[in-house]
Structure 1
Amino acid sequence: MQLLKALWALAGAAICCFLIFVIHSQFLKEGQLAAGTCEIVTLDRDSSQPRRTIARQTARCACKKGQIAGTTRARPACVDARIIKTKQWCEMLPCLEGEGCDLLINKSGWTCTQPGGRIKTTTVGHLSFYSSSASLSLQFTEK
């Protein structure tokens, strides 16, 4: 008898989870991102210059209130909007673990220095703001 009650409870929980999933998926229409997530929209690489790679990336994020599209640990992420407005790029922790972050003199971006001395320079090319999402274009130069 108790086994039967447990099975009914388990079946009820499974149905509830399924209904929540269906309702949630109805709210996220095609092309919409879940709050707090980002996707890379474009990524172009140029290796035509010797010993140098230039990559351009545009990410679109659906950030929560007070956040905006940015980069954390070299991946698109929602970050505190204050960081973007004040151009204190290193506060969003854009570099990989073990790399050092330095702000460019004109605050147009940052550099990530690897322990071996290799430097990646990132410049912010374009910021776009929409009512529920933001996009950020970055250009990476690696030497």
Structure 2
Amino acid sequence: MQHLRAAWALAGAAVGFFLLFLIQAHLEGQLVAGTCEIVTLDRDSSQPRRTIARQTARCACRKGQIAGTTRASPACVDVHIVRNRQWCEMLPCLDDEGCDLLVNRTGWTCAQPGGKVKTTTVS
């Protein structure tokens, strides 16, 4: 029983130290390896039935990874996906959406079940 309590105490301490590390890195402006954050997000709804959104993300990706999009959020993805412009391989759409490459491979579309389509282009 004492071993179990000691194991839980060690696990709790490890989680606590990890959380402190994350908080410290965030306060210092550094990202933890393999994570991203949105720096700017601008939306333009001046055209009827159309919203143009532009976002800039900052990522601290591991070796062999590059900034991309997973589940409609910035994420680190394998570099081969971006080099080969196989955008749908990084799972950029939400679970209930279908992904299709644009014809010129400059981005992708996410089609929702109700017929709404979100188009993303890479610049």
- With structure 2 as the length reference, what TM-score do the two structures score? 0.82
Structure 2: gaps of 5 or more residues: none
Q: Could you report, residue by residue, the CA deviation over 1:31-88 in whole angstroms, capped at 9, with x for unpaired residues?
A: 1100111000110000000111000011111111111110011011111110011111
Q: How many correspondences in the alignment? A: 121
Secondary structure, in 3 states, of the residue corresponding to 1:57?
A: strand
Structure 1: gaps of 5 or more residues: 126-143
> Quick check: which has more Rg, 1 or 2?
1
List structure 1 runs of 4+ shifted beyond 2 angstroms.
12-29
Rounded Cα–Cα distance in structure 2 between residues aligned with 1:15 and 1:116: 45
Distance 1:18 1:118, change over 3 A: closer
What is the aligned-residue identity percentage? Answer: 68
Rounded Cα–Cα distance in structure 2 between residues aligned with 1:98 and 1:24: 35
Q: Offset at 1:24?
A: 3.7
Computed over aligned residues only, the root mean square deviation of the Cα atoms, in angstroms, reads: 2.9
Q: What residue number does 1:80 align with?
A: 78
* Higher strand residue share: 1
